[in-house]
Amino acid sequence: MQDRLKIQGFTPERLMEPLAALDATLPECRRIVAHVVQRGNDDLTAITQVRARVRDRAQEFVGIGRLEVIERRASAVDPFVKYLLKCPDGSEIETVRIPLEKPGRFSVCVSSQVGCAMGCTFCATGRMGFVRNLETWEIVEQLRIVSRELRASGEGRVHGVVFQGMGEPLHNLDNVLEALDIISNPCGLAVDGRNVTVCTVGIGPGIERLASMKTRVRLGISVTSARAAVRRSLVPMEGRYPIREVIKAAKLFYERSGHLVMLAYALMGGVNTGADEAEAIAELLREMPARLSLIEWNPVEGMPYRPPTEEERSAFHDALARLGVPVVRRYSGGKDIGAACGQLATESQRQPRGTRATD
């Protein structure tokens, strides 16, 4: 079992509990969390305005967790950076740094699990199967690594977070929610909840739980196809949570939060880019206003899919426009660095250490 007690896994309020025996005060806990999470320090020796015994206990009994960066791939064609990180138990996970339109702002795509049980047939992580849930601190640590690097290089700061890396975040919702508290905490990474998107394959009860909370986060649903039979062949969870039911839960989220839901759609040539698919999407969107976010599928070796041709892409886009479907076309960057979810980790399992290109 992973050691859950790491400073990155606590808000200042929660950190008071393991330090209660020393009567640690809230301001002291705030300083400890800010020193580690916000400023990216790896020990507490230089911390000020925290009593020595509180500092020592925090260092010794709580400690600072570490994920080792075993590979950092920077794209040669766009400013994407992908990190392969090693957890203390040897598991490998991925994190991607994504540049936003406004200079100096970055979004970070984080993993929530090692592997994934959902088994989507177009996803390299799905092929790995499920290994374990990430601890809260392991989710926060992915952001701390990117944030520290951006600050050190003067490139900018983490502005947004998207839970769209390895794993199904709604299957690790307790830890994801704890991580969200730390990510948005002013002593943590101070990322506005409205700039955080939790992207799910469509787990109805998890969406309903999110809808029942007063949260500022956004919801994304990986649709992939609006036709049940096609979707079932791509997303096996369609058998358990049909997309129509998922949209009902998403509508609840929309009504309670007031935030438009993002429907993520990975375009695969010859699979989900036809006129019948556009009509099925338009019908789905009659149930609930949403934004459809189109992204090209990133090729994964050995999978029977391909990205769409320019003609397929334009025809699909035109068909959606004719049907009045609001579309956001996302740039699918990082192709040269294996930016599709799970690609680095699965490559890493196949290749011996030292044979992979790093920059």
Catalytic amino acids?
94, 341
Q: Which stretch binds ligand SF4 (CB under 6 A): 35-43, 114-122, 151-159, 268-276?
A: 114-122
- Closer to ligand SF4 by Cβ: residue 126 or 188: 126
Per-residue b or e along 273-294, where b marks 16 or more CB atoms closer than 10 Å to that residue's CB: bbeebbbbbbebbeebebbbbb
- Closer to ligand SF4 by Cβ: residue 147 or 225: 225
Shortest distance, position 164 Cβ to ligand SF4, whole Å:
7
Q: Which of 84, 85, 120, 143 binds ligand SF4 (CB under 6 A)?
A: 120
Per-position DSSP letters for 15-52, written without gaps between them: HTTTTGGGT--HHHHHHHHIIIIIT--S-STT--SS-H
Shortest distance, position 35 Cβ to ligand SF4, whole Å:
33
- Closer to ligand SF4 by Cβ: residue 215 or 222: 222
d(CA 58, CA 29): 9
Q: Which two tokens stand for residue 186?
A: 């002013």
60-79 footprint of ligand SF4 as x/- string (CB under 6 A): --------------------
Q: Which two tokens stand for residue 220?
A: 């994304």
- Residue 168 interacts with ligand SF4 (CB under 6 A)? yes
3-class SS at 268? coil
Q: Which of 167, 307, 308, 334 binds ligand SF4 (CB under 6 A)?
A: 167
Instruction: Please list every residue from 333 through 352 that binds ligand SF4, using CB under 6 A.
Output: 341
Q: Which stretch binds ligand SF4 (CB under 6 A): 55-63, 80-88, 162-170, 289-297?
A: 162-170
CB within 8 Å of 22: residues ≥ 6 apart: 51, 53, 54, 57
- Closer to ligand SF4 by Cβ: residue 58 or 223: 223
Shortest distance, position 96 Cβ to ligand SF4, whole Å:
13
- Closer to ligand SF4 by Cβ: residue 73 or 171: 171
- Closer to ligand SF4 by Cβ: residue 94 or 135: 94
d(CA 299, CA 28): 49
Q: Which of 84, 110, 116, 223 binds ligand SF4 (CB under 6 A)?
A: 116
- Closer to ligand SF4 by Cβ: residue 37 or 198: 198
- Residue 271 interacts with ligand SF4 (CB under 6 A)? no
Burial classification of residue 134, based on how many CB atoms lie within 10 Å of its CB (0-12 exposed, 13-18 middle, 19 or more buried): buried
Q: Which of 9, 12, 126, 160 binds ligand SF4 (CB under 6 A)?
A: 126
Instruction: Please list every residue from 215 through 234 that binds ligand SF4, using CB under 6 A.
Output: 222
Q: Which of 98, 110, 118, 246 binds ligand SF4 (CB under 6 A)?
A: 118
**Taking the chain, what is the end-to-end CA distance rounded to the nearest angstrom?**
33
Burial classification of residue 272, based on how many CB atoms lie within 10 Å of its CB (0-12 exposed, 13-18 middle, 19 or more buried): buried
Q: Which stretch binds ligand SF4 (CB under 6 A): 62-70, 79-87, 111-119, 253-261?
A: 111-119
291: left (phi over 0), alpha (psi -120 to 50) or beta: beta
Instruction: Please list every residue from 173 through 202 that binds ligand SF4, using CB under 6 A.
Output: 201
CB within 8 Å of 102: residues ≥ 6 apart: 159
3-class SS at 111? coil
Closest CA to 169 of 105, 214, 116, 123: 116
Residues that bind ligand SF4 (CB under 6 A): 116, 118-120, 123, 125-126, 166-168, 201, 222, 341
